[in-house]
């Protein structure tokens, strides 16, 4: 056993996937906790747990992810995405553990119109984006042995765009879908497969790891066709949909650094979507 792992947020989309996947490997012995069992804002408990169990790898799958609600819950978003993350970074440093953390395309403003690379300047548009950016900064200031993995449009669990779209399609014959937002879906299964590759290469720093890019409406059309939905799709602009938090229009994350570093590519979004639809036994 090479890694004694503390995994936080085991009931989230990504956390759940990690626990299943890493348990297949002899190199990882995983202790996983949900929010109630171990709250990352509980600084003392975090420090004691990591020290007493001598974890050498911390995988943080927790997040305050309610993008719109965060506009009214600035304190809560930052308590988890910034202060909680700083607790993990400090505890990782003191115990010489590696920290793996996940961040978001929402740290960018979406004005670049070309894929964002790791060293592009963040300019978050929302409270959520800002809190995730502060979390990244805290890690970079505190510890050296970290991986910050930026992802976007995460799907793989029960609550994501694919599952929501399928539910909407069951209740409606007309759907309005945003046509001017482009990003990259990230299938949790592909992402958890990518992480051991990064560990085996001893990588540290910030990386973009996603499936390939697509507009939200093109993704929606693909899913709805696969499930043989016969309703009508109406394209709407982001500006005409009343969402509390602004979102970047173009937030494609360039994966080149990841691809060169591990000599492997994340599968394309169609392939990832097909496998997820099969998993949820829609096909």
Ligand X SMILES: NC(=O)c1ccc[n+]([C@@H]2O[C@H](COP(=O)([O-])OP(=O)(O)OC[C@H]3O[C@@H](n4cnc5c(N)ncnc54)[C@H](OP(=O)(O)O)[C@@H]3O)[C@@H](O)[C@H]2O)c1
Name the minimum Å distance from CB 259 to ligand X: 19
Name the minimum Å distance from CB 139 to ligand X: 12
8 touches ligand X by CB under 6 A: yes
Residue 107, classed as helix, strand or coil, is helix
Q: What is the 3-state secondary structure (H, E, C) of 125-192?
A: CCHHHHHHHHHHHHHHHHCCCEEEEEECCEECCCCCHHHHHHHHHHHCCEEEEECCCEECCEEHHHHH
CB closer to ligand X, 132 vs 249: 132
CB closer to ligand X, 62 vs 126: 62
Stretch that binds ligand X, among 10-18, 199-207, 230-238, 265-273 (CB under 6 A): 10-18
By CB under 6 A, name the one of 14, 22, 59, 127 that touches ligand X: 14
By CB under 6 A, name the one of 153, 207, 219, 229 that touches ligand X: 153
Which residues ranging from 69 to 88 are in contact with ligand X (CB under 6 A)?
80, 84
Ranked by CB distance to ligand X, the top (closest) residue is: 12
Helix (H) or strand (E) holding 73: none
Q: How far apart are CA 191 and CA 171, in angstroms?
A: 31
Name the minimum Å distance from CB 152 to ligand X: 5
248 touches ligand X by CB under 6 A: no
183 touches ligand X by CB under 6 A: no
**171 CB-contact burial (10 Å; exposed 0-12 / middle 13-18 / buried 19+):** exposed
**CB-CB neighbours of 180 under 10 Å:** 15
39 touches ligand X by CB under 6 A: yes
63 touches ligand X by CB under 6 A: yes
End-to-end CA, the chain: 38
CB closer to ligand X, 23 vs 234: 23
13 touches ligand X by CB under 6 A: yes
Beta-bridge partner residues of 133: none
Name the minimum Å distance from CB 88 to ligand X: 10
Helix (H) or strand (E) holding 53: helix 43-53
194 touches ligand X by CB under 6 A: no
Q: How far apart are CA 32 and CA 14, in angstroms?
A: 12
Tell me the backbone φ, ψ of residue 255, rounded to 5 degrees.
Answer: -95, 5
250 in Cβ contact with 113 (< 8 Å): yes
Stretch that binds ligand X, among 153-161, 210-218, 234-242, 263-271 (CB under 6 A): 153-161
Name the minimum Å distance from CB 209 to ligand X: 11
Place of tokens 């070309």: 114
Site residues, ligand X (CB under 6 A): 8-9, 11-14, 35, 39-41, 61-65, 80, 84, 102, 104, 132, 151-154, 157
């Amino acid at each position: 056993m090479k890694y004694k792992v503390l995994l936080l947020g085991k009931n989230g989309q990504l956390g759940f996937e990690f626990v299943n996947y890493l348990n297949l490997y002899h190199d990882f012995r995983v202790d996983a906790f949900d929010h109630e069992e171990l709250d990352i804002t509980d600084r003392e408990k975090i420090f004691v747990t990591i020290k007493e169990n001598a974890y050498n790898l911390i995988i943080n799958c927790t997040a305050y992810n309610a993008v719109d609600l965060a506009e009214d819950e600035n304190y809560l978003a930052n308590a988890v995405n910034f202060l909680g993350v700083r607790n993990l970074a400090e505890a990782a440093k003191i115990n010489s553990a590696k920290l793996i953390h996940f961040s978001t395309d929402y740290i960018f403003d979406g004005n670049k119109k070309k894929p964002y690379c790791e060293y592009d300047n963040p300019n978050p548009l929302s409270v959520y984006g800002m809190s995730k950016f502060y979390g990244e900064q805290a890690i970079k200031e505190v510890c050296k042995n970290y991986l910050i993995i930026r992802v976007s449009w995460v799907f793989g669990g029960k609550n994501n765009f694919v599952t929501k779209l399928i539910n909407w399609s069951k209740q409606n014959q007309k759907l309005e879908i945003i046509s001017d937002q482009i990003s990259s879906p990230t299938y949790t299964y592909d992402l958890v497969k990518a992480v051991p590759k990064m560990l085996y290469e001893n990588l540290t720093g910030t990386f973009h790891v996603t499936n390939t890019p697509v507009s939200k409406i093109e993704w929606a059309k693909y899913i709805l066709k696969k499930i043989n939905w016969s309703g009508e799709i109406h394209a709407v602009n982001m500006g005409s949909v009343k969402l509390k938090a602004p979102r970047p229009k173009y937030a494609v994350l360039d994966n080149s650094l990841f691809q060169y570093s591990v000599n492997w590519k994340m599968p394309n979004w169609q392939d990832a979507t097909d496998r997820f639809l099969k998993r949820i036994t829609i096909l």
